[in-house]
Amino acid sequence: MTTSGGSSTETTLEKTTTTGAAAAVDALLTLDDMPTGWTTAPELLEDQEDAGECTFNLDLPEDDSARAAFKEGDLGPFVLSSVGRFVNADAAAGYVDEIQAFIDRCQSSTEDGVATALSPLSFPALGDESLAFRITIDDPEAVPVEGNVVVIRRGEAASLVGLLTTFSSPDAALTEELAVAAADRL
């Protein structure tokens, strides 16, 4: 984990050092994109254990990707921003297809007592292709989480933006604002 930036644009990132990763870092959302009062949230970038086929873990190319996370407070809301550069546009389109298959396959699942529901979300078209979905996670040992996730592809690059909340529904207008900002950077 490294910290990039300086003054008000400081963003906590997880990145590799390849040229593609540098381009991915440039396309990430930054603290300046967040509403007033938000901070970086490096603790959200820790790798999660894979609990099964419906675990929400949508990996980007390991060598050419970057991630950033932000939060308003300890209980949220939270924003996750991921960008990946693929070998070509077909590979990036394949990534979007994998996410659509994940949504179709895991609309309702329970693994290790954690119930997850996924449903399509109406959203404006962005980039060369995009999709959006709502995720609801009910873990009896944690607070309930609801989120809007938007995936945008432009050429060989893909960006994933997630706005996650606890105890409330995610703000649709903020989701759209952040997704448009992410799409503009691809």
* Counted domains in the chain: 1
The predicted model scores a pTM of 0.84
pLDDT tens digits, one per residue of 156-183:
999 999 999 998 999 999 999 999 999 9
pLDDT at 16: 36
pLDDT at 62: 63
Residue showing tokens 């989120």:
147
pLDDT tens digits, one per residue of 6-61:
333 333 344 333 455 677 788 899 999 999 999 999 888 876 555 566 765 566 76
Return the H-helix or E-strand segment holding 101.
helix 89-105
Per the structure, the complete domain to which residue 177 belongs is given by: 2-185
Q: Maximum CA pair distance of the chain?
A: 43
At residue 113 the predicted structure's pLDDT band, cuts being 50, 70 and 90, is confident
Give me the mean pLDDT over the 80-95 stretch: 92
CB 70 within 8 A of CB 40: yes
Q: Establish how many alpha carbons lie within 13 A of residue 54's alpha carbon, considering only the half-sphere containing its beta carbon.
A: 19
The token pair that represents 92 in the structure block:
């990036």
Classify residue 63 by its DSSP letter: T
Which residues sit opposite 106 in a β-bridge?
none
CATH number at residue 92: 3.40.1000
Q: What is the CA radius of gyration of the chain?
A: 15
CB 1 within 8 A of CB 45: yes
Could you tell me the sign of the dihedral formed by the alpha carbons of 44, 42, 5, 16, in that order? negative
CB 154 within 8 A of CB 161: no
